Amino acid sequence: MQNKKDYNIIKRGQAHASKIYYNSLEERLNYDVAEKTIIIWLLDHDIFNDGPYHEVSKTVRSSNGEILSDDITYHYIQLEKFYNQIEEIVTPEEQWLAYLSCQLNKEELEGVFAMNEKIRDVDKMAEEVLKDRELWEAINDKIMAKNLELLKLEYAHNEGLEEGIVKGVTKGEKEKSIQIAKKMKKANEPTEKIIEFTGLTKEEIDKIKI
């Protein structure tokens, strides 16, 4: 998600996609195993003057528009255009974008919840997290830790130390998940929601004491 206009969205997306795609080729640059890479920008401003709010970019021939490759695909979702172009919220994509925009009034929000129960569940979870400062900080720590761990894995791969680092990363991730699950159990959250939110199994959650 990007809410500032002072960043070069196109080039930043290309840089991220190129790195992800290249790293999927494995050591001998085996292009047959390259993973499809999808970059999604959710923007609160328009970066194209014309066209639809949801632009998709792939590698095409300039002469006839033939798609040469969709291995790297870019999605540019422009919320400003979204509100100018959509008169009625109908599709799941439109429902989620309307919710994520944070522009709906209470009545409009309830309408989206009625159309999509998953959005209502996410909103309830977000509200509960924001009310519990400790839980919010635990989740934030987990996200920050995950980013740090990705950097460690990349370094480990380059240095041939991956196995040992991976073990440490896995242990650290599990400990963060357990702490979050413990707080969610204290808040009487259902086990299914805790599983979805932390990635822990039901057996692991049942063993957690509060």
Residue 146 pLDDT: 55
Share above pLDDT 90 across residues of the chain, in percent, rounded to a whole number: 29
Q: In terms of pTM, does the model score above 0.75?
A: no
For residue 11, how far is the Cα from the chain centroid? 20
Residue 136 backbone zone (phi > 0: left; psi -120 to 50: alpha; other: beta): alpha
For 41-80, the DSSP string reads: EEESS-S-SSS-SEEEEEEE-TTT--EEEEEEEEEEEEHH
Residue 165 pLDDT: 39
Residue 193, both tokens: 């929601």
- Say if residues 176 and 141 touch (Cβ distance below 8 Å): yes
The model's pLDDT over 140-186, given as tens digits with 9 standing for 90+, comes to 665 555 554 554 454 444 444 444 434 444 555 677 777 778 877 88
Helices (H), the chain: 9-23, 79-85, 92-100, 106-115, 117-131, 133-159, 162-186, 191-198, 202-206
The model's pLDDT over 113-141, given as tens digits with 9 standing for 90+, comes to 999 999 988 888 777 766 666 666 666 66
Interval 67-96 mean pLDDT? 91
Other Cβ atoms less than 10 A from the Cβ of 74: the count is: 19
Interval 54-71 mean pLDDT? 93
Say yes or no to pLDDT of 35 above 90. no
Residue 27, both tokens: 């050591």
Residue 152 pLDDT: 47
10 or 147, which is more confident: 10
Residue 103 pLDDT: 85
Interval 41-63 mean pLDDT? 92
Range in 86-100, 164-178, 185-199 with the lowest mean pLDDT: 164-178
Average model confidence (pLDDT) for the chain?
Answer: 78
**Band of residue 61 on the pLDDT scale cut at 50, 70, 90:** very high
